[in-house]
Structure 1
Amino acid sequence: MMCQIDPYTSCKNGGQCIPIDEHMATETKFTCICPKYFTGDRCEIADTKIILSFQNDITLSRSMIVHFIQVLDYSSHERATTVKTIPIEKNSLIIYWSRPFHIVLFEFFNKTYYLTVVQKRYNPSQVIVKTLNSSDRCKHISEVFNETIVNLHLLRRIKYYHLPCQKHSSYLSCFYDDIHFCLCNTSSQHQHVANCFEFDHNLKPDCFGQNSCENGAQCFQDSPTCAPTSMCTCPTCFYGRRCQFSTNGFGLSIDAILGYHILPNVSIVKQPYVVDSHDHAGLFSGVLSVIMFQSKKLCEAGCDLYLLISFITTVFTVILVALKLWILVLAQMALTTNRSFLGL
């Protein structure tokens, strides 16, 4: 077996080697299941890493849409979209992306766009550090043209699109209308011109008709066809990998606290520490109660009955919490197929 003969050189960066059936008519003897942030036939390509920070004059929203645009030729392009959430009390974000791209646009949910990355050639495994400021915001045509030009028909209006790039080249990097997105570039003659391409501002987030999200959640995937990854953006009071869980009718429940920490299709021993350590504090408290219950001085003081009741209550509570957690873990890990009892 190829994986057994050469387990260290077959797959790189900790990839899992899976041998291919020797009876299959293929030259490939194995395939690699790559870990997170690595791709390629042998997991040899690291994902592009974008380290993004925001200046204080930018009003941030809790989540933002990221558009990756790949220029295929002079007349067409391919767009992939994902959603990222900024951690609480932070103004920075790290994004990993495995597919080729030439343009990166950040879109806040109020339809505000920021031009983040523009590159003529795509170089894989690069690290891009960018600080977004107000000058990176892409303006609507109503902000760069007067009302007369804005009200013109598109065929007559678009011939004026090079003027803002020439007049405001120092602070205008991009602008858009209802159909196009335009970048202010410098031509070979060192002139500032508008390079425009079609951009659907109302693209339906349903993974191009392959939406597996539940409860009205939005679905985003990293490629229009044969997408390797997709994600769900849950509405209020829903969570989970597919937004299949609800917090309606609950207060500070285990579902809401630990739901996002449980990894699907991963064994319990490889789950995050927060998942398998929830009841350690309760068990520790119960053990302390037992130790204190052995003290004769406390028994003489009349505390023995109190400690006994406290111990029984603690153990009973821990058992109930552990049972609830295990039901949640098994359901989230996709080991439970009949989930109707979860709503009871």
Structure 2
Amino acid sequence: MFIFGLISGILSILTFHMKKTRNVGCGFYLFISSWNSMLILIILIIKFWQLILSQMFILNNRSILYMNCLILDLIIQVCLTFNDYLYGCVSIERVLTVHKGINFNKIKSKQIAKWISLCIFILIMLTHIHDPIHRHLIDDIDIDEQRIWCVVQYSSSIHIYNSFITLFHFLVPLLINIISTIYIIISMARTRLTIQPRLTFKEHLQLQLKKHQSHLIALCTLVFLALPRLIISFISGCMKSPNHSWLFLSSYLFAFLPSMITFIIFVLPSKMYKKQFNTVLDQTVRRLRTIYRR
């Protein structure tokens, strides 16, 4: 999983590092998402090794464990949520492109995208600021284990707030993606009906569904992969059963997949992005050949 995420992240960064892919806000959102996905992967690897080392009693510095307890989960939560909103912004950008047509301002779109990304990130940070405040370390009372655990304990009011925020940050990007995709398909079908009246609206709608099949598949994939993260966020308590632990761990890691498939769901289906990827790939191969010949 880590290798897959690393490869996908690098390929996405290489693609959206090209200026032509960032002529509009859509490319900028995906560029930020690519770097954000790499950050998530790095933090996940750090957390994984910190857990392994602490369970092996190699890492037992309480100050380091406490800082990791406060920071790592917060960064992961914020970055995962930020990625969901970036995907939502891409959908909104596509809607604006379809709605405005030739009147779509690419330069203004890119400028707005920078401010929107910053505002969304700050908003997400503010809505998650309660999490590190309620985190602390506890010592395992089990004589056989005697390990240090990072736990979060909310009061009833904070628990309600946390549940609301979690659900809000899950549903808003999801609804944006769903509504945007439906709007684009219907709007394009109506436009084509005006140009080609010999076909019925239903026929145009079927053609647009077929044309945007990759977007629909990507949407369903994102929803399916995001569900485990939502379910886990509402599960509390410790699991002693090894079977339950592995199930929880698998679901937890599974929830990171949406942030690791930017290249698959956005670059590969797009002719323009794929062309730019092939260009940067050719340039990279040429540079490597030049270095090798030296």
Q: TM-score if structure 1 supplies the norm length?
A: 0.22
More strand by share: 1
Which one has a bigger Cα radius of gyration? 1
